[in-house]
Amino acid sequence: MRNSKIYSLLGQIICVIFTFLFLFPLILMLIRSFEGNGIGNYTKVFEEVNLLPNFLTSFIVVFGTLLIVSVVSAMGAFSFSKLEFPGKKVLYYLLLTGMMIPTSALIFPLFQIVKGLHINNTAFSLIFPYATLNSCFNLMVLKNYFDGLPNELMEAARIDGAGVFKTFVKVMMPIAVPGMAFVLIQTFLGAWNELQMAMIFINDTSVQPISVVPLRFVQTAGSQNFPIEVMYASLVICLLPIAIFYIFGSKFLIAGMTAGAVKG
């Protein structure tokens, strides 16, 4: 009993230390953003740069990616978990090999495809690659979640006259909401923060996603019209939407991770 309390206290201390280490750069950035002109630093950002098109591109890319990933991953996971068809295991593990390929190795072929389809400098140049790269991991997560659901649910729905698609939509998906929430949240975080493809596939600075914009601020930081404090303010503005989203979605993220981690 005494040892358990010591281990618990030690674990809490370690968590506090690591939390401080992770939060310190963010706190420092927030403090520095108000130095000098205070709120005027934030006003200066919007006077110098029109961020609305960049935010719009990010929202379009994230929405399109979430739409494709949610449909493809959910239907694929349900099929691999609850349906029987020839070559199911081989196809499943073949799809999972996509997780082993580093994103940097796919940049050039993806760029050639995007350029060949003439969709570079548009949101579609990021939506399709993001959706493809996120589907493999999310397929595995949702399949593990569906594996934990009893097959008796499908049998009961079949007795009531429901087909496979109706069973998927009306019975399985409402139960799989926690797993689906995890998939959508982590896909949102990945699509919003991705930088490498966003820089290469969209080189028009006026429509680049917001994740690329801080690099423009860094290049001009320290100049007379754009002091370092204004750069910190611009970084806070770019990080604010993802911070708000994570605060409200963190409980669903943790619930989805724990729900899909145990099979059967």
Q: What total number of domains does the chain contain?
A: 2
CB of 217 closer than 8 Å to CB of 231: yes
**Together in a domain, 23 and 146:** no
Please list the pLDDT of the chain residue by residue as tens digits (264 residues). 556 777 788 888 898 898 888 888 888 888 888 887 888 888 888 877 788 888 899 999 999 999 999 999 999 999 998 888 888 888 888 888 877 888 888 888 888 888 888 888 888 999 999 998 888 888 888 888 888 888 888 888 888 887 888 888 888 888 888 888 888 888 888 888 888 888 889 888 888 888 888 777 776 665 556 778 888 888 888 888 888 877 776 666 665 555 544 444
Could you write out the DSSP letters of every residue in 151-173?
Answer: THHHHHHHHTT--HHHHIIIIIH
Does one domain contain both 147 and 240?
yes
Q: Let me know whether 10 and 110 are in one domain.
A: no
3-state class (DSSP) for residue 115: helix
Q: Residue 214, Cβ neighbours under 10 Å: how many?
A: 17
Q: What is the CATH number of the domain that holds 60?
A: 1.10.3720.10
Task: Return d(Cα 42, Cα 47) in angstroms, integer.
Answer: 9
Contact 81, 92 (CB under 8 A): no
Q: Are 132 and 218 in a shared domain?
A: yes
On whether both 1 and 72 belong to a single domain, the answer is no
Examine the domain organization and report whether 14 and 49 are in the same domain: no
Domain co-membership, 111 together with 179: yes
Same-domain status, 101 and 52? yes
Determine if the pTM surpasses 0.85. Answer: no
Query: Looking at the structure, do residues 12 and 131 belong to the same domain, yes or no?
Result: no
- State whether 43 and 14 are in the same domain: no
Q: Are residues 7 and 57 in the same domain?
A: no
Cβ partners under 8 Å of residue 190, min gap 6: 130, 134
26 and 132 co-located in one domain? no
- Structural domain including 243 reads 38-260
